[in-house]
Amino acid sequence: HGLPGPVDDSMQIEGVEAVEDVGGDVDSDEVSVTSSMEAEADLVTLRSPAVVSCLQEAALLRRAHEEALVDALAANSHCVWALTRLSQGWSYAAQRDNDAKRHPLLLPYGQLDAAARRGNRDPAAESMRLVATLGFELVAPEVDHESELAARVLHRSGAGGKEPLPGAEPLASASG
């Protein structure tokens, strides 16, 4: 049964009908579970609102960690793209100019507009869904690396305005 200690015959689980010990193999006809998912949810909801509250808080925290991971993946994807462009001789400019290898998105991720960030976030979120679909589970570390990363990103991005990435020299005429 997986629980420590002896099993008490008086213990009942809602949604599971009593089953006689018939010895040997148990056929599926001998055990009747009536809507086990609903019974389990009813049991938790009716008997332990505190547990429900904790589960909801845990789900919110998990969602926040997933969102933070999507943001980190999106920022990394943008950084890899930007470093590739810089290595190819591209630089920052307020207006894109393919012939002159100038690009307005050669900025730190945090300084990108919502549409540009979404262009990085959407594929990152799809990758996360694929990881989950394949049966993998990503577990957040005990250490708060998210705050450390955020502090580094804020430090690199400066107090305000648009600053190009290191190595992406801004044009003299480029303005925030």
What is the domain partition of the chain in residue ranges? 62-157
Q: How many residues does the chain have?
A: 176
CB-count burial class (<10 Å; 0-12, 13-18, 19+) for 153:
middle
pLDDT interval class at 81 (50, 70, 90):
very high
Q: What percent of the chain is predicted at pLDDT more than 70?
A: 49
Amino acid at position 140, single letter: A
Amino acid at position 58, single letter: A
Q: Which residue in 175, 169, 174, 158 sits closest to 111, CA to CA?
A: 158
82: pLDDT strictly greater than 80: yes
**Fold exhibited by the domain 62-157:** Globin-like (1.10.490)
Report yes or no: 75 and 152 within 8 Å, Cβ to Cβ.
Answer: no
151: pLDDT strictly greater than 50: yes
The pair of structure tokens assigned to 51 is: 């547990």
List pLDDT tens digits, range 152-171.
Answer: 655 554 444 555 565 555 44
**Over residues 3-29, mean pLDDT:** 43
Q: Residue with structure tokens 């008086």?
A: 10
The pair of structure tokens assigned to 108 is: 């730190």
Report yes or no: 101 and 89 within 8 Å, Cβ to Cβ.
Answer: yes
**Over residues 125-131, mean pLDDT:** 93
Picking from 37-46, 77-86, 146-155, which range would have the lowest pLDDT averaged per residue?
Answer: 37-46
86: pLDDT strictly greater than 60: yes
